[in-house]
Amino acid sequence: MTDQTTPSTPPTNDGLVRRILDSDLFYDFSRRPIIILSAILTLVIILAAALAPWIAPHTPFDPSTLNLMDGFTPPMQPNAFTGNLYWMGTDSQGRDIFSAILYGARISLLVGFAAVAFAAILGITLGLIAGYKGGWVDTLIMRIADVQLSFPAILVALLIFGITKSLIPSEMQEQAAIYVLILSIGLSDWVQYARTVRSSTLAEKNKEYVQAARLFGVSSIRILARHILPNVMGPVLVIGTIGLALAIILESTLSFLGVGVPATQPSLGTLIRVGNEFLFSGEWWITLFPGITLLILALSVNLLGDWLRDALNPRLR
Amino acid sequence: MTDALLSVRDLVVEFPKRKTRLTALDQVSFDIRPGEILGMVGESGAGKSLTGAAIIGLLEPPGHIASGEIWLGDQRIDQLPYEQLRRLRGKRIAMIFQDPLTSLNPILTIADQLVETIQTHLPLNDKAARARAIQLLDEVGIPAAEKRIDDYPHQFSGGMRQRVVIALALAGEPELIIADEPTTALDVSVQAQIIDVLKRMCHEHGTAVMLVTHDMGVIAEACDRVAVMYAGRIAEIGDVRQIVKHPQHPYTQGLMGSIPSITQQVDRLVQIPGSMPRLDAIPSGCAFNPRCNQRLPRCTQDRPDLITTDQGHVACWLYEGATP
Amino acid sequence: MSLSVRQEYPDMKQPLLQVQNLSCHFDVSKPWLNRVIESEPQRFLTAVDQVSFSVNQGETFALVGESGSGKSTIAKLIVDLIHPSSGEIRFDGKILRETRGEAFKTLRRRIQMIFQDPFASLNPRWRVGDIIAEPIHAFGLATSQAQVTRTVEELLDKVGLAGRDRHKYPHEFSGGQRQRIAIARALSAQPDFLVCDEPTSALDVSVQAQILNLMRDLQDEFGLTYLFISHDLSVVKHMADRIGVLYLGSMVEDAPSEQLFSQPAHPYTRMLLDAIPDHEMSGRRRKPVTGEIPSPINPPSGCTFHPRCEYADTLCKEQRPAVVTHNDSQVACWAVEQARIPVKGLQSV
C-alpha cells in the first residue's frame, strides 16, 4: 500500500546552504545583476557601519583627536596647513567625513532595524489578535489603524516624538533621544504589518489545519503562535525590508529637521543637516557624501524589498 | 486523417525549467471527426487540459509546443500568428471552461455578450443577432429566454450560467468546441442536465467536441470515443463502449475498477498502488510500469507507442503482435 | 499506547451518536450600519433544519446532499467547531457541550474529523511527525518523547506510509498521501468516532479507491464508527450501512443503504439516483433530472422540494411534511405518507 512510485524528494536535512543555493529564490536572485548589486551595497554598508570603530581612520566625535586646522579640507586634497589627506574631506571642526559617515550609518541602521523590529512585533501581535478574534476587538484595532493611516507617517512620528520628549526629564533627554526616536518611528509604522497579518490570519484561520488543531483542544494562543504565525510571516519579511528603507529615511528626515538624534551622536540625517549650512559657501562635500550614502542605502534596501515581494508572489512568477 | 476535422500529430509540449525541460505532453496523436464527441479522460496532471490549451493556442508561457502538428481541416494551426489564431477562436473553435462565472463578463447582460459574439462571427444586424441569441438560449433550455436575455450573469444559477456559456460557445457556429471539465463545478443533479444539453446541441449543430474531464461517468454519458491520458501520453484510445466495457491498458482497467459501482456491491475496490508520477520524475520505459500489475521486463526500458488492436489503439507491450 | 482493537463499549444497543432536532441558523445580514441605512431586516440562513438521526457503534452512517444541503455544517456541529441554534447532540449518552473538565477532554478526544482538502488540512510549516503527534501531546497520550515517536511511526505504517516519512514536510507528498497523513493524525487521538467530510472528493479516482479501502481496513481494525459525508452516491453506497439524504438543510430520507438504493421513497432520493452517471454503461433506466437547488436564504414554503417535485400538490406547498417511519426507514414526504407514490415493498405502518 506504500506509495513507492511517487518520486521521493531528497531528504530535507542535507544542509541549509545547499538548500538555499538550490532554491528558486536564489536562482531568481542570481539572474538579476541589479538585485545582486543592491544586496552587495547593502551588505557593505551594514558591515562598514557595524565595524566602524575598527575600520574608521578617525574617531570623529572624540574632541581630543580633532585638529581645527584640518577644518574644511576638500576631498582628496592635502590640507593646506597640516598636509593631512582625507578621502571625503572634513567638516568645519576638522572631522573626517568618511569616518563620520561610518559612525552615522551605524546610528541610522541601528534606529532603522530597531524601529522595524518594534513596529513588526507590535503590528504582528495586533494583526494576529484582530484577525483571529474578530468582532469588536478587530473593529477597534483596525479603526485605530485606519485613523493613524490617514495621517502622514512623519506627522505621527513628530507627534509621538514631541509627546514622549515632554514626558522625559531634560537631563535624561540626551541619552533617551535614540530610544524615543525608535519608539516614534516604530509606532508610526505598525499599521502596515497589522493590516497584512490580519488579512493573512483571516485566510489561515479558516483553513482546515487550524480547525483540526481546535478539535484537539489546542489553546488560541498556541494556535496563533505555532500554527498561524509561521504561515503569515512571508509577507511580513517583504514589508519589513521595505519598511527598513522607510525607517532609515524617516529617521534621517527627523534628524535633518533637528528633532532626531543629538549632534553629538550624529546619524546620516544629522550629517546632511550640518553640511547643508555650508553648501552655499562652497563646502559641498560635507553634505553630499552623507547624502549619497543615504541614497544608496535606502535605494538598495528598497530594491531588495521590491524584488523579494515579486519573487515571493506566486502569481507573478 | 482525410476525413478528420481536427488532427493532432505527435504533439509535444514542453515547459523549460531552470536546469531541465519538463515534457508535459509527449507524442500525443489523435483525430476528431466532424460532429463527434471525443472524451479526454485522466487524473490531475495527466495533460488532458493542456492538450486543449495547446490546440487553441492558450498555453501558459513558458510552456510551448516543441514539435508536432495540429491541423483543423486542411489548415495547420499550431504555427499561426497570434492575430489569426485569435480570429480562429470563437469562430472555428470555441471553448467552455469549468467555472461558468469566469467565462461570463459580470458587468454585461447576457444579451450584450451573446449579440457581440454573434456579430463578431456572423454578418447579422442588431435585431437579427438578438433574435438568434434568444433562439440559442431557448435551445439550451433557458426558460422565458426573451425575458432573461437582459439579465446579468449573477442573476442566473450555476446550471443556467453553464447553459448560457454553451449558447455563447455555439454563437459563432464553430466546427469544434473544447469543453474543459464543463460539469465539475456543478451539483450532481445539474451535471446530468448540462451533459444532456451539450450533447444534444452539438449533435443538432453538427459540432465536434473535445470533452476534457476526470469523470468516467461524464465520458460514458456523452462521448463517442475516448482517449485515456496518463503522464502526458495517450495510454489508450478507442470507442467509448469498448473502453468502458473492455478496457485494454492496465491503467484503464485499474481506473474503471476503482470507481465504486452503483449496481454491484464489492468489499474492496480495485486500487492502483501509488500515484501518477510528477513531470520531473517520469519513469523510463512505460510511464505506468511502476504501478502496473502486468509488467513485462521490457516495460521498464522501452516506451510503447500506440499499438492498433481489433478493439482500438493501446500503448502497452501486452498487445505487441496482436493482430489488428 | 496500544493500537489494538478497542472493545471498551460492548453495548451495541445504545447508539454511539444521537442527533435530535438539530438546527443551525447563520446570520447573513449586512453589517448593522448598512442595515439601518438601507432599512433592510436581519436575514438568516437556515443551514440545518430540525435534523435527527443516530449512528450505532461500528457502523458507517452517510449523509448525502448537494450544495446547500447543510451536510458540512452538521459535521462541524458534531465535532463542536460551531454551535447549534437548537437541538442536541449526544455522544455515548452525554452532551458534549454540557460536560466539563476531564470528561469534556475525553469526549473531545473520542470524536475526530477528516477534512476534505488534504492540501489545507496539514500545516505546511510542520513536519509530518509533528503534525501526527499534535493530538498525542494535546491529549497527553504519551509519557515520553520516545513513545510519541514510536506511536507516530506505527501510525504512519498503519496508513501505508513509511516511518521515516515523519521527517518530511507535507509538500513532499501527493494528495492521496497527505490524506493518509490526515487520517493518521485523527487516529493518533485514539478516537471511536470519525467524522469524514468529503474525504475523497479532492482526490483522483484511483487514489480515492486507495483511501476508501484504507478507511474500511482501519474501521475493521480499530472498531471505528464513521459519519461519512459526501455528494457522491456511488462512494456512499460503497461505504455506508445507513444513509441520510439531505435537501436544503432537512433530512428527507434516512434508510439502510441497500433499501435506499433498491426502494428509494422520497422523490428527491429518486432524482439523485437518476442523476448518477452510468459509468459502466449498464443501460440502467433513468428519468431525466430537472430543476436546480433554490437559495437556502429564501427556501420554498412547505416541503422545500415541492418546486422540483412531480408529485407535489397544494398540501406540499403549504405544510412541511413530518417524518414518517416505515419499516427501517424514515421519510419526510406527503406523497409517500398519503401513498400517492408507489414505493416498492413499502407498506404504511
pLDDT tens sequence across C64-84: 998 888 999 999 999 999 999
Lowest mean pLDDT among A9-18, B172-181, C12-21: A9-18
Window 116-175 of C: residues touching B by CB (8 A cutoff) are: 174-175
The mean of the pLDDT values for chain C is 88
Burial class of A62 by CB neighbour count within 10 A (0 to 12, 13 to 18, 19+):
exposed
Average pLDDT, stretch C28-46? 81
Lowest mean pLDDT among A104-108, B259-263, B304-308: B259-263
Average pLDDT, stretch C159-184? 93
Supply the pTM of this predicted model. 0.87
Least Cα separation, residue C66 to chain B (angstroms)? 6
d(CA B167, CA B150): 15
Residue A56 included in any domain: no
> Of A3, A4, A5, A315, which to mutate for an interface test with B (greatest number of B Cβ within 10 Å)?
A5
Residue A72 included in any domain: no
C320 and C212: one domain? no
d(CA C227, CA C241): 10
Residue C155 included in any domain: yes
Least Cα separation, residue C281 to chain B (angstroms)? 6
* Chain B residues with CB-CB distance to A24 below 8 A: 18
Residue C88 included in any domain: yes
Which residue in B274, B281, B283 is closest to A3 by CB distance?
A: B274
Residue C35 included in any domain: no
Number of folded domains that form chain A: 1
C129 and C273: one domain? no
Band the pLDDT of C2: cuts 50, 70, 90: very low
The answer for residues whose C-beta is within 8 angstroms of residue B252's C-beta and 6 or more apart is B228, B235, B236, B243
d(CA B223, CA B217): 10
d(CA C337, CA C321): 9
C91 and C161: one domain? yes
Residue A73 included in any domain: no
- Who has greater pLDDT, B321 or A51? A51
Q: Does B241 sit within 8 Å of C233, measured CB to CB? A: no
The three cell numbers locating residue C119? 492540501
Residue A97 included in any domain: yes
Residue C189 main-chain phi, psi, to 5 deg: -85, 0
Instruction: Evaluate whether C244 touches C254 at the Cβ level (below 8 Å).
Output: yes
CA angle centred on C310, ends C307 and C311, rounded to 5°: 105
> Of A3, A4, A227, which to mutate for an interface test with C (greatest number of C Cβ within 10 Å)?
A3
Distance of CA C157 to the CA centre of its chain: 26
C230 and C306: one domain? no
* Chain C residues with CB-CB distance to B193 below 8 A: 288-290
Identify the pLDDT of residue C239.
93
Identify the pLDDT of residue A2.
39
> Of B15, B18, B20, B43, which to mutate for an interface test with A (greatest number of A Cβ within 10 Å)?
B18
> Of C77, C102, C123, which to mutate for an interface test with A (greatest number of A Cβ within 10 Å)?
C123
Window 134-173 of C: residues touching A by CB (8 A cutoff) are: 134-135, 138-139, 160-162, 167-169, 172-173
The percent of residues in chain B predicted with pLDDT above 70, rounded, is 98
DSSP H or E run through C45 = strand C44-55
Residue C108 included in any domain: yes
ipTM value, please give it: 0.87
Q: Does C177 sit within 8 Å of B266, measured CB to CB? A: no
Which residue in C112, C177, C214 is closest to A215 by CB distance?
A: C112
Residue C151 included in any domain: yes
> Of B156, B229, B267, B269, which to mutate for an interface test with C (greatest number of C Cβ within 10 Å)?
B269
Minimum Cα–Cα distance from C280: chain B residue: B244
Minimum Cα–Cα distance from B275: chain A residue: A6
* Chain C residues with CB-CB distance to A208 below 8 A: 115-117, 120-121
Identify the pLDDT of residue A129.
95
Residue A121 included in any domain: yes
Distance of CA C248 to the CA centre of its chain: 15
Number of folded domains that form chain C: 2
Query: Exposure string (b/e) for A11-20, b if CB count within 10 Å is 16 or more?
Result: eeeeeeeeee
Q: Does B193 sit within 8 Å of C234, measured CB to CB? A: no
Distance of CA C92 to the CA centre of its chain: 18
* Chain C residues with CB-CB distance to B255 below 8 A: 205-206
| Containing structural domain, residue C316 | 266-277+297-348
Instruction: Evaluate whether A269 touches A250 at the Cβ level (below 8 Å).
Output: no
The answer for residues whose C-beta is within 8 angstroms of residue B228's C-beta and 6 or more apart is B41, B42, B234, B235, B236, B237, B243, B249, B251, B252, B255
Residue C290 included in any domain: no
Q: Does A3 sit within 8 Å of B18, measured CB to CB? A: no
The three cell numbers locating residue C213? 479501502
Average pLDDT, stretch B172-182? 91
d(CA C147, CA B280): 38
Identify the pLDDT of residue C285.
73
Burial class of B6 by CB neighbour count within 10 A (0 to 12, 13 to 18, 19+):
buried
Instruction: Evaluate whether B78 touches B37 at the Cβ level (below 8 Å).
Output: no
Residue A213 included in any domain: yes
* Chain A residues with CB-CB distance to C122 below 8 A: 209
Band the pLDDT of C344: cuts 50, 70, 90: low
Burial class of A50 by CB neighbour count within 10 A (0 to 12, 13 to 18, 19+):
middle
| pLDDT (tens digit per residue) in C263-313 | 899 999 999 998 888 888 877 777 888 888 888 888 899 999 999 998 989
Identify the pLDDT of residue A71.
77
Minimum Cα–Cα distance from A232: chain C residue: C125
Minimum Cα–Cα distance from C117: chain A residue: A208
Identify the pLDDT of residue B322.
61
* Chain C residues with CB-CB distance to B46 below 8 A: none
* Chain A residues with CB-CB distance to B284 below 8 A: none
pLDDT in tens, chain A (317 residues): 334 333 334 444 456 777 777 777 888 888 899 999 999 999 999 999 999 888 888 887 777 777 777 778 888 788 777 777 778 888 877 788 898 899 999 999 999 999 999 999 999 999 999 999 988 899 999 999 999 989 888 888 888 888 888 888 887 777 788 888 899 899 888 999 999 999 999 999 999 999 999 999 899 999 999 999 999 988 898 899 989 999 999 998 988 888 877 777 888 888 888 888 888 888 888 889 999 999 999 999 999 988 888 887 654 44
Q: Where are the alpha helices (DSSP H) in A207-259?
A: 208-215, 220-222, 229-256
Minimum Cα–Cα distance from B276: chain A residue: A6
Identify the pLDDT of residue A257.
85
C114 and C221: one domain? yes
Identify the pLDDT of residue A160.
86
Provide the 3-class DSSP secondary structure of residue A7: coil
The CATH number that applies at residue A233 is 1.10.3720.10
| Containing structural domain, residue A100 | 90-316
C97 and C144: one domain? yes
Which residue in B18, B280, B290 is closest to A5 by CB distance?
A: B290
Q: Does C121 sit within 8 Å of A217, measured CB to CB? A: no
* Chain A residues with CB-CB distance to C214 below 8 A: 1
Residue C292 included in any domain: no
pLDDT of B115 over the 70 cut: yes
Residue at grid coordinates 493482430: B323
Identify the pLDDT of residue C145.
93
pLDDT of B202 over the 90 cut: no
Provide the 3-class DSSP secondary structure of residue A23: coil
| pLDDT (tens digit per residue) in A137-146 | 999 999 999 9
pLDDT of C4 over the 80 cut: no
C226 and C329: one domain? no
pLDDT of B279 over the 50 cut: yes
Provide the 3-class DSSP secondary structure of residue C58: coil
Residue C282 included in any domain: no
Which residue in A11, A207, A216 is closest to C189 by CB distance?
A: A216
Average pLDDT, stretch B276-286? 88
Q: Does B280 sit within 8 Å of A4, measured CB to CB? A: no
The CATH number that applies at residue C231 is 3.40.50.300
Instruction: Evaluate whether A39 touches C207 at the Cβ level (below 8 Å).
Output: no
Residue C120 contacts A, CB cutoff 8 Å: yes
Q: Which of C33, C57, C35, C55 is nearest to C44 (CA)?
A: C35
d(CA B256, CA C238): 15
Identify the pLDDT of residue C255.
94
- Residue C39: CB atoms within 10 A of its CB come to 6
